[in-house]
A and B are shown apart, each in its own frame.
Chain A
Amino acid sequence: MICLPAADPGIVARREEIVAALRELIGPGNVVAEPLRLAAYETDALTAYRQRPLAVALPETTAAVAAIVRYAHRAGVNVVPRGAGTSLSGGAIPAPDAIVVAMGKFNRILDIDYANRCVVAQCGVTNLAISHAVAERGFYYAPDPSSQIACTIGGNVAENSGGVHCLKYGLTTHNVLGVEMVLPDGEIVRLGGRYLDSGHYDLLGLTVGSEGLIGIVTEVTVRILKRPETARALLIGFGSVEDAGACVAHVIGDGIIPAGMEMMDRPAIEAAEAFVHAGYPLDVEALLIVELDGPAAEVDMLIDRVRAIAESHDSASCRASTSEQERLAFWAGRKAAFPAVGRISPDYYCMDGTIPRRELPRVLAAINDMSRRYALRVANVFHAGDGNLHPLILYDANSPGELDKAEEFGNEILKLCVDVGGVLTGEHGVGLEKRDLMTYQFGERDLDVQHRIKLAFDPALRFNPGKVYPTLSRCAELGREHVHRGAERFPDLPRF
């Protein structure tokens, strides 16, 4: 049970005045205040938690964002930045005393600069739209979160999002060259640009992954790459997770950095196969997808090398894609793993810890023990190359107490990740979800230093309060209202 910060009744009482002020500032058409329309902004992809915001502002220009922020600063109102609302950690969940600044209207690509291999986009442009915009010349934007058709580049910057190809091509932070950002006092700054590195402190690096706590990113400059000449994948089955893990270590130890290296355990394989019929073997305990990209000469050679390595670790089956269609088929099951699990369970809860890879067998065994103890099934998908684990905990929110149990189970997994030398989150962010576990990974002084950085940007703590860092503020146990399979109960009731 995550506690949401208590709303300030004084602010909630001033709702009409605040809405009127926003309408005055950015035009009535850009302010959402009607309960029914506000419902769309109640939560993000951590749907177990929802709260109706005070109001939603839909600015169209950076100047409008700055005006909203300056007003909020003066009026003492909190601000929650929002992109597409696909955060899995509750980072975009609003508060009853906060203005949501939703950046959906910032949806234009401003410049495609092939000479400098970069694209300048407004923050609300989707991740995939950037790749689409440069596809005609054979370029793409490398970080590819599975949510890429929906999530925004501004959200990616805020979360430092990754994807299955970030082992070779890096996370968002390695691919962002610059941003324009509105600071919590309304000041508009530019950090970085179409050049590399900074002449001073790397405030851009600090901004990426700051989860909407230190400003609203309005524009992003990203690096684009030429598509590799070819890509092929191997689909390798193993009789044990240990063998699969040893194979991954061996591939990397051999100097090979695959474009992607994904692992699935038996429950995940079964769910995926039942859903998309990708042709996955069903008699194995672990499945690896290894993708190699580059010039054909290299890819063909490495396919053979990885196959030989897999055989040396007793692979039970091994197929190499010989066509683009086959390669995509190998990926189809992995890419559909979440919805596939959604089919076999009323609800699932996705975790995101990172561990040193050598700990994989031990951690998976421990997760299986926990699964028995909590009497909840679990399926594991795993960015095996970089140790980022996504256990999916299966539960039924209609069964009393199961959500609490699932959350406890999840917390135990994340603590284990920290215990073995890893971290709470590899790509989904801390948000609301993992906030209270921060003290498990970091000491008091570590958190204090981070808090001082926050204060340097946002001394009044107005931006995305209650997220990422545990605070001593009063706490309301309201707010959680589970929505089962997307059906909302009592949609008409006001929630202030």
Chain B
Amino acid sequence: MAAEGNSMLRPRDAADVAEIVRAHPRALEPMGGGSKRSIGRPVDADPLDLAALSGITEYEPAELVLTARAATPIPAIREALAANGQRLAFEPPDFAALLHGDGVPTLGGVLSANVSGSRRVSAGAARDHFLGCRAVAGSGEEFRAGGKVVKNVTGYDLPKLLAGSWGTLAVLTEVTVRVAPAPETETTLVIEADDAANAVEMLTAALASSHDVSAAAYDPARGCLLRLEGFGPSVAARAAGVLEALRPPGVERLDAVASSALWSDLGSAAALAERPFVWRIGVPPSDAPRVLDAIAPRQFLLDWGGGLIWAALDELDVGRVRGALPTGHATLWKAPVAERSAAAVFQPQPAGVAAIAARVRAALDPAGKLNPGRMA
């Protein structure tokens, strides 16, 4: 049996996790590296420290599939993949700078939060690369879901459901993800834009072209940012194609190193690190300019071609943010603990959907043992 004590529960393996979930008298807060602990409503629960469930268990580059224990740190995954010319295409962001945190993101944590970087717009989200898992339901049973091959429609797609469930349905103990070849090279075109509306027009034109723009963002401090990745001659040809289509007045071109650094900061909204309140907002790209006008944030970034708004405010102002959205969702990504305890951190759902979500939660975690209230 794992070391027990009110403050520290440190299972050594999946069986320990199941035992603790079944036997522990209090609610539990599953935790990988703890890098996203400050997102969501604070929970009154004992931390379930999964750090010992670490290490890659299966990886065959030619199969494009990797299996690892859930708390394997992202840097370790990156390193193993890079040694084989591969990567996680959804670009798991590290929010350490934004959240002033010190935890290292883990693969299980990234999947549980379904967080993806700027390449989400072309390569899909974390959930799209999540093929299968072993997990312990809130009810204490160990179970498997999905598979270890890239194409699988056998039974419900439970990995999708677990992705983005923030540890409120089950504790992931081992996960299988799809991996992708890393590109030979990349470049980023930095293009001046007048304002958000003008920027969204350009991002849309770029993404609607056949030039395979892999990321498209707008940072008012720099301009429109368009990323092209792939084989050298292809990147050169596509960059030329984008410029010909947009005919921008001024353009700067970043080399591979600068480009890669830029997107790692952008995808984790590092530029907003000094702001106390940061919202992460999903909208139809064409709504972004209007939504920004209505919110009037102190500072913002647009990613995913305009479909993701990072909005920084000086005070909480839930009504102003959610009231600005005709459709979509707004999550309070960063806020002091007092405000996070009081506000609806996640987008409230329509009654019918909320009812189904509550029944799904009850199906896996009937006693509300895992992260109770976190997704309120």
Contact = CB atoms under 8 A, between A and B. Distances in A.
Interface of A: 113-117, 138-139, 159-160, 162, 166, 170-171, 173-174, 183, 187-191, 193-206, 208-210, 226-229, 249-250, 252-257, 294-298, 301-302, 354-358, 383, 386-388, 421-430, 434, 438, 441-443, 445-450, 452-457, 468-469
26 contacts: A116-B307, A138-B210, A139-B208, A162-B151, A196-B125, A196-B282, A197-B120, A200-B164, A200-B349, A201-B357, A202-B160, A204-B160, A227-B210, A257-B180, A294-B234, A297-B233, A297-B237, A298-B234, A301-B233, A355-B149, A357-B63, A424-B154, A441-B154, A453-B360, A454-B156, A456-B360
Interface string B357-376: 10111111000000000010
B307 A356 contact: no
A296 B238 CA distance: 10
B331 interface: yes
B285 interface: yes
B157 A208 contact: yes
Interface string B151-163: 1111111101101
Contacts of A429: 153
A171 B153 CA distance: 10
A228 to B, nearest CB: 6
B126 to A, nearest CB: 9
Contact of A173 (B128, B143, B282): B128
Interface in B127-167: 127-128, 137, 141-145, 147-158, 160-161, 163-165
B226 interface: no
Contact of B124 (A170, A449, A453, A455): A170
A251 to B, nearest CB: 9
B62 interface: yes
Most chain B beta-carbon contacts within 10 A, residue among A162, A209, A423: A423
A204 B60 CA distance: 30
B148 A229 contact: no
Given A209-B157, A226-B210, A253-B62, A201 B363 contact: no
B209 A354 contact: no
Given A162-B151, A252-B62, A387-B149, A199 B331 contact: yes
Nearest to B147: A423
Most chain B beta-carbon contacts within 10 A, residue among A113, A196, A422, A457: A196
A171 B151 contact: yes
Given A295-B234, A357-B63, A210 B156 contact: yes
B210 A229 contact: yes
A388 B60 CA distance: 17
A426 B161 contact: no
Most chain B beta-carbon contacts within 10 A, residue among A160, A171, A202, A357: A202
A105 to B, nearest CB: 24
A189 B155 CA distance: 22
A455 B284 CA distance: 33
Nearest to B237: A297
A115 B286 contact: yes
B164 A202 contact: yes
B163 A450 contact: no
B150 to A, nearest CB: 5
Contact of B156 (A162, A193, A252, A453): A453
B61 interface: yes
B64 interface: yes
A282 B85 CA distance: 37
Contacts of B364: 449, 452-453
Contacts, number: 267
A397 B212 CA distance: 49
Contact-residue bracket for chain B: 35 or more
Contact of A206 (B114, B160, B180): B160
A492 to B, nearest CB: 38
Contact of A193 (B152, B181, B328): B328
Contacts of B125: 196-197
B198 interface: no
Interface string B230-254: 1101101110010000000000000
A170 B158 CA distance: 18
Contacts of B347: 199-200
B312 interface: no
B161 A205 contact: yes
Contacts of A174: 124, 128
Query: When A and B form their complex, which 4 residue pairs have the shortest distance between CB atoms, in order from nearest?
Result: A205-B160, A199-B329, A199-B347, A298-B234
Given A197-B282, A456-B363, A427 B153 contact: yes
Contacts of B145: 446, 449-450
B359 to A, nearest CB: 4
A209 B85 CA distance: 32
B52 to A, nearest CB: 23
B237 A452 contact: no
A295 B237 CA distance: 7
Given A199-B329, A298-B233, A206 B156 contact: yes
A188 B352 contact: yes
A228 B210 contact: yes
Given A187-B355, A203-B360, A255-B85, 20 more contacts: A116-B307, A170-B128, A189-B353, A190-B353, A198-B164, A199-B330, A200-B164, A201-B164, A202-B127, A253-B61, A295-B237, A301-B233, A356-B65, A356-B149, A383-B151, A445-B143, A450-B145, A452-B364, A453-B156, A455-B363
B304 interface: yes
A117 B237 CA distance: 23
A358 B60 contact: yes
A199 to B, nearest CB: 3
B113 to A, nearest CB: 11
Contacts of B37: none
B151 A386 contact: yes
A160 B153 contact: yes
